[in-house]
Each structure stands twice: as structure tokens, then as C-alpha cells.
Amino acid sequence: MAELLAFDRVTAGYGNAVVLDKLSLTLAQGQSLAILGRNGVGKTTLLETLMGNTRVTGGAIRWRGQDITHLPAHLRVRAGLGWVPQEREVFPSLMVEENLSVVARPGAWTLDRVYGFFPRLRERRANYGNQLSGGEQQMLAIGRALMTNPVLLLLDEPMEGLAPIIVEELAASIRRLCEDEGLASIVVEQHPVLALDMTHQAIVLERGTVVHAGPSAALAADQALLDRLLGVGIEAT
Ligand SMILES: Nc1ncnc2c1ncn2[C@@H]1O[C@H](COP(=O)(O)OP(=O)(O)OP(=O)(O)O)[C@@H](O)[C@H]1O
């Protein structure tokens, strides 16, 4: 399968603080990758680094064969990176439809198609961002990323704070984006069982570096390895 993204011994952090330490990973086109690890190991920093929001002091990031290590952040969205931040960052004083339209870029994903994918957003189109439930806000955050017509969707703890029934619905939506719509995705998730169920491949980080990489299904089936890597009894969501 053709390579979409590669981190080649990337060292990155904030100011003088190094968080990612010679981190390497690869992702093939249309594939999904779970980023797992205990608190503070650098999962969010990995996504921030891919979006150009950290200081990279070593290694290289390759995107569709091009070196984007020092590409300015705003050009990365244009290059096809779709960012769904942990805080969702929905504009509270804009209506759902305005939240979507304001970031639109030409491509297959239009307002109509996003509404088709998340019918709930169509129903709420005239509501303001701050009138939405947590689940609706997350749909809107994903919808906004889709409106930029990405090739790769980056999701930072998309299920955080959501009720189990909403988590199930969103997990199914994210899976469909990959399986039916051909989008690649990287999912940072606190719940390993959920993340592994949603993805093809998984990596586990420790202190800013990769300590395990392999198929998600194999890791999900190996409770002893999960316990060793993640250190706690693994809870389903
Ligand atoms: N903006 C920042 N400036 C300085 N240090 C930061 C910043 N953001 C994160 N860090 C530090 O980088 C390290 C990794 O944080 P990061 O948020 O990437 O970890 P994480 O694995 O996503 O953690 P969590 O699971 O708790 O969200 C931590 O020590 C954190 O304090």
C-alpha cells in the first residue's frame, strides 16, 4: 500500500522542552492508526507536531512523498490534513451552518454531504454552537474538518466526556469515514479497547517514543501485552 505519512526519527517539543524523541511511524493511504499511551507520553504533541504547532529539532515528516517538516501550519490544512482538536473548538456564537461554511474548501465534501453524513447537524443547522450537546459539538467538529476536504483526519480524544450511546454512534461514524469514504485517520484515545476497535494499526508511546507498533486487532487480542504496555486493567467504554 502506498505511503501517505511518515515520521522519520522526529524530535519535537515546546521551546527547549523535548516531548517527542526520535519518533518514527508510517501510515498507508486509507488506513487508520490508533495512538495509545499513558497520560503525558506525547500523544497530543504528536498530532500538534503533524499540524505544525510544535518546534521540530530533528528528523523529518513526509506527507505524500513531500518533506513537510517545516511547512507552515496553515498550508498543512490545504495539503489535506483535517484537524479535530480535543477541545472541539466550535465557534459558540456562530450557527451550525456558519461553523461549517466558514472553513469550506473545494472538494467532494459539501454542506449537503456533511448533513447527509450527520443528519443531526442538518436538524440543528440554525442553532448556535453553544446550544449543542457534547455529542453534537463533536459531530460539528468532525463536520468542520470534513468541510476542509481532508485526506487524513486527526482526532484527539473524540469520545472524551460523551455518554456511552453517543460514543458508539460516533465510533461507527468514524469507522464509516475510513471504510466507506476512504479517509485515513489517526485517533488519539484514552480507551484502548475503543481505539483498537476503530483502527487498522496501533502504536503505543512511552516518553515520546514508540514502544509498540502493529495491527490493532492483534494488540486487542493480547491482554497481557496491553496490560504491560498500558499498565492498567483495560476498561471498555
Ligand atoms: N503547550 C505546551 N507547552 C509546554 N509543554 C507542553 C505543552 N503541551 C504539552 N506539554 C507537555 O508535553 C508532555 C506531553 O503532553 P501531551 O499532551 O502530548 O501528552 P498526552 O499523551 O497527549 O497526554 P494526555 O493523555 O494526558 O492528554 C507533557 O509533559 C506536557 O506537560
HEC assignment per residue over 203-229: EEEECCEEEEEEEHHHHHCCHHHHHHH
Q: What are phi and psi of 8, to 5 degrees?
A: -115, 95
pLDDT of residue 87: 77
Confidence of residue 232 (pLDDT cuts 50, 70, 90): low
Residue 233 reports pLDDT greater than 60:
no
Classified by CATH at the fold level, domain 1-80+153-160+186-232 comes out as Rossmann fold (3.40.50)
Residue 222 reports pLDDT greater than 50:
yes
Residue 165 reports pLDDT greater than 70:
yes
What is the domain partition of the chain in residue ranges? 1-80+153-160+186-232
Give the closest residue (by CA) to ligand 1 atom 3.
14
pLDDT of residue 191: 87
- Lowest mean per-residue pLDDT among 4-18, 81-95, 130-144, 205-219: 81-95
Kindly list the protein residues whose Cβ atom lies closer than 6 A to any atom of ligand 1. 14, 17, 19, 37, 39-45
Q: How far is the CA of 13 from the centre of ligand 1 (A)?
A: 9
Q: In angstroms, rounded to a whole number, what is the distance separating the alpha carbons of residues 67 and 55?
A: 16
Structure-block grid coordinates of residue 227: 496490560
Q: How far is the CA of 68 from the centre of ligand 1 (A)?
A: 22
Residue 64 reports pLDDT greater than 50:
yes
Residue 237 reports pLDDT greater than 70:
no
pTM over 0.90: yes
ipTM, 2 decimals?
Answer: 0.95
Residue 54 reports pLDDT greater than 60:
yes
Q: How far is the CA of 97 from the centre of ligand 1 (A)?
A: 33
- The best mutation among 16, 43, 187 to test binding of ligand 1, ranked by most ligand atoms within 8 Å of the C-beta, falls on 43
Which atom of ligand 1 lies at the shortest distance from residue 42's CA?
Answer: 18
Q: In angstroms, rounded to a whole number, what is the distance separating the alpha carbons of residues 229 and 200?
A: 18
Q: Give pLDDT tens digits for 122-133.
A: 999 999 988 999
Q: Give pLDDT tens digits for 81-115.
A: 999 988 778 888 899 999 999 999 999 999 999 99
